[in-house]
Amino acid sequence: MILSHIWGIYTHPKKEWKTIADRHESFVNAFTHTLFISLIPALCSYYSAVNIGWSVGAGDPIYLTHSSALAMAIIMYFGLIGGVLALGLMAHWMAHNFGANPSHVQAIEVSAYTATPLYMVGFATLYPELWFIMCVGLVGIAYAVYMLYTGVPIVMGIDEDRGFIYASSLVTVGLCFLVSMLGFTVFAWSSGIGPAFVN
Rounded to the nearest 10 degrees, what angle do helices 27-37 and 104-120 cross at?
Answer: 20
The confidence score (pLDDT) of residue 2 equals 53
pLDDT tens digits, one per residue of 151-193: 888 888 888 888 888 888 888 888 888 888 878 877 777 776 7
Cβ-contact 177, 86 below 8 angstroms: yes
- Round to whole Å and give the CA distance between 111 and 86: 9
- Round to whole Å and give the CA distance between 177 and 160: 25
The confidence score (pLDDT) of residue 63 equals 85
**Per-position DSSP letters for the chain, written without gaps between them:** -TTTTHHHHHH-HHHHHHHHHHHT--HHHHHHHHHHHTHHHHHHHHHIIIII-BB-SSSPPB-B-HHHHHHHHHHHHHHHHHHHHHHHHHHHHHHGGGT----HHHHHHHHHHHHHHHHHGGGGGGS-BHHHHHHHHHHHHHHHHHHHHHHHHHHHT--HHHHHHHHHHHHHHHHHHHHHHHHHHHHHHHTT----B--
Which segments in the chain show pLDDT lower than 50? 1
pTM for this predicted structure: 0.87
Return the number of other C-beta atoms located less than 10 Å from residue 78's C-beta. Answer: 12
